[in-house]
Amino acid sequence: MRRAEATMVPPAEPRSYYGRPVIKAPVWKPEIPWYLFAGGLAGASNVLAWAADVSGNRRLGRNARLIALAGGTASPVLLITDLGVPARFYNMMRVFKVTSPMNLGTWILAATGTAAAAAVAHETLGLSGPLGRIARGLSALFGLPLATYTAALLSDTAVPVWHEGRRELPFVFAGSAAASAGAAAAIVTPERDAGPARRLAVLGVLAGGASMRLMEHRLGELGEPYRKGAAGRFAKLAQGLSIAGALVMAARGRRHPGAIAGGGLILGGAACQRWAIFKAGFQSAADPKYTVRPQRARLEASHGHI
């Protein structure tokens, strides 16, 4: 009886202090969503490069590694520019702190970038010996967490849409990173060597998109920012571009112009997806109902009204 009643009445707007937000909005600038994109691209590209080398596909390996190096070079520049005091960037590297995903991420990024640069240098200089193989292996090993730790970074905050999406967000980012790495490599690699890159791009779109849908579903009302405002527009654009890109890549990717068109669409979709997630955080922080309502519900479920 009570249940039937409860479904009839829409949830009341929670009380607030003049509608002001309870938590602060992020101070992060556009560098951050671009870093999410570049870091993911670099992380997955390092792994793709290593796998291509192991499979004997040297051309794909070299291209993916150069893409990884480019992403890995842009990443610290974006991160340092975003700081309030860029000259103090090095303070991040004076400590090793497991409770701070940003601190761990700095170390992961530094390790991946160094290993990738060493691998490229080794290859370019035509050196022999085990050093190149070790550098390539390390860049792939650190590339895996580089592609996903940014999800931990966003989830480990008080922003409801990020924190409550903590179980799906890493898979969204993994898919997005795979799609970006595959698409970028397919664009610059002749079609006869780019099969794995094309398949990775399509696979990434599917996995990232499915994870995103699952996240939105599980977030329920807290996922509203993904359907409204700037975040909603980016999310819609991301879905459209990614699906179109995957279709083009699957149908026409075996010819290079098709791979370029499909890859471009997929890269655009991946960037929009990062922007949607970034913007959703601002919208989630701005409205006190996202913060207050779940907390109030939790209190009433556990020990009644305080």
The SS3 assignment for 166 reads coil
- Name the amino acid, one letter, at 43: G
| CB nearer to other proteins: pick between 237 and 247 | 247
| CB nearer to other proteins: pick between 1 and 17 | 17
Scored b (16 or more CB within 10 A) or e, 275-300 reads bbbbbbbbbbbbbbbbbbbbebeeee
- Minimum CB separation of residue 173 from other proteins in Å reads 7
- Minimum CB separation of residue 115 from other proteins in Å reads 16
Contact 185, 67 (CB under 8 A): yes
- Minimum CB separation of residue 36 from other proteins in Å reads 14
Length of the chain: 306
Contact 169, 215 (CB under 8 A): yes
| CB nearer to other proteins: pick between 63 and 155 | 155
- CA pair distance 37, 301, nearest whole angstrom: 39
| CB nearer to other proteins: pick between 193 and 247 | 193
- Minimum CB separation of residue 140 from other proteins in Å reads 8
| CB nearer to other proteins: pick between 90 and 129 | 90
- Minimum CB separation of residue 241 from other proteins in Å reads 20
The first and second tokens of residue 221, run together, are 């009302």
